[in-house]
Amino acid sequence: MVRSMSTNIDGREVLIPTVSDDGRIMSDDEAIDNFMRTGRHLGMFDNPDDATAYAESLHNQQADE
């Protein structure tokens, strides 16, 4: 399952994973800190609606597998 959140960073809506490499669910602040350290994200979008639509698509793809 893909767990994510989106946040605005430098004018772009960034979709960030909220599960660490070791499988632990991170708080929003931890997920943002991890993104800032690693640059790892699931996509960058022009607005929150596009980020949400993509996140839902990812979730649905995982549910189908």
More confident residue, 60 or 19: 19
Distance CA 28, CA 34 (A): 10
Sequence letter at residue 8: N
Q: How confident is the model at residue 39 (pLDDT cuts 50, 70, 90)?
A: very high
Model confidence, pTM:
0.86
CB atoms within 10 A of CB 15: 22
Cβ neighbour number for residue 1 with a 10 Å cutoff = 8
